[in-house]
Amino acid sequence: MNAPATIQIFSVSEFNQNIKLFLEKKFPMLWIHGEISNLRMPSSGHLYCTLKDEKAQISVVIFRGQLRQLKFEIKEGMGIVGLGRLSVYEPRGTYQIILEYAEPKGVGALQVAFEQLKKKLEHDGLFDPSKKSALPFLPRAVTVITSPTGAVLRDILHIINRRFSGIPIDIWPVKVQGHGAAEEIAQAISKANQYKRTDVIILARGGGSLEDLAAYNSETVARAIFTSMIPVVSAVGHETDVTIADFVADMRAPTPSAAAELVVPVKADLKAKCSDLQKRLRHCAQNMVDAKISELQRLGRALVHPAKMLQTLNLRLDDLTARLNRAGRLTIHLEKANVFNLNRRLLTYNPNVKIHGYKLLVNRYEEILLEKLRKNITDNKIKLSSALASIDALSPLAVLRRGYSIVRSLPEQRIVMRAQDVQQGDIMEVLLSEGVLKVIVDNG
Residue extents of the structural domains in the chain: 12-107, 115-129+138-265, 401-440
444 residues of the chain, pLDDT tens digit each: 455 557 877 777 777 777 778 877 777 788 888 888 889 999 888 999 998 888 888 899 999 888 888 877 888 888 888 888 888 877 887 888 889 888 887 556 667 778 788 888 888 898 899 989 999 999 999 999 999 987 899 999 999 999 998 899 999 999 998 889 999 999 999 999 998 889 999 999 988 777 788 889 889 999 999 999 999 999 998 877 788 899 999 999 989 999 999 999 998 888 889 999 999 999 999 999 989 988 888 887 777 777 777 888 888 888 899 899 999 889 998 998 898 888 888 777 777 777 887 888 888 898 899 999 988 999 898 888 888 878 877 777 777 777 777 888 888 878 888 888 788 888 888 888 788 888 888 875
DSSP assigned state of 430:
E
Predicted confidence at residue 5, as pLDDT, reads 57
Topology at the third CATH level for domain 12-107:
OB fold (Dihydrolipoamide Acetyltransferase, E2P) (2.40.50)
Exposed, middle or buried, 377 (CB in 10 Å: 0-12/13-18/19+)? exposed
DSSP bridge partners of 40: 48
CA distances from 370 to 362, 363, 364 (A): 12, 11, 10
CA distance 210 to 216: 10
Q: Would strands 169-173 and 142-146 be described as parallel, antiparallel, or unpaired?
A: parallel
The DSSP annotation for 224-246 comes to HHHH-SS-EEEEESSTT---HHH
CA distances from 82 to 32, 62, 73, 244 (A): 5, 10, 14, 27
Closest-CA residue to 107 (of 28, 44, 33): 33
Residue 210 CA from chain centroid, whole number: 45
* H or E element, residue 347: helix 306-348
Strand order in the sheet with 232-236: 169-173, 142-146, 200-205, 232-236, 251-252
Exposed, middle or buried, 221 (CB in 10 Å: 0-12/13-18/19+)? buried
Closest-CA residue to 65 (of 19, 99, 42): 99
Q: Is the pTM of this model over 0.85?
A: no
Predicted confidence at residue 1, as pLDDT, reads 47
Question: Inter-axis angle of helices 151-163 and 256-263, to 10 degrees?
Answer: 30
145 three-class SS: strand
Are 238 and 155 in contact by the 8 Å Cβ rule? The answer is no
CA distances from 308 to 112, 232, 296, 304 (A): 96, 74, 21, 7
Predicted confidence at residue 392, as pLDDT, reads 75
Closest-CA residue to 94 (of 139, 59, 120): 59
CA geometry: angle 77, 88, 43, nearest 5 deg: 55
CATH 3.40.50.261 fits 115-129+138-265, yes or no: yes
Please name the residue ranges forming H helices in 228-305: 244-248, 256-263, 267-302
Are 96 and 48 in contact by the 8 Å Cβ rule? The answer is no
CA distance 65 to 97: 16
Helix, strand, coil in percent for the chain, rounding step 5: 50, 20, 30
CB atoms within 10 A of CB 155: 18
CA distance 146 to 239: 17
H helices, E strands: number in the chain: 12, 14
Predicted confidence at residue 33, as pLDDT, reads 87
CA distance 145 to 358: 114
Are 151 and 206 in contact by the 8 Å Cβ rule? The answer is yes
Query: Residues 28-48, buried b or exposed e (16+ Cβ, 10 A)?
Result: eeeebebbbeeeeeeeeebbe
CA distance 72 to 90: 32
The CA-to-CA distance between both ends of the chain, in Å, stands at 153
CA distance 163 to 268: 8
R_g of the chain, CA atoms, integer Å:
65
Positions of E strands within 63-159: 79-89, 94-104, 142-146
Closest-CA residue to 235 (of 161, 176, 168): 176
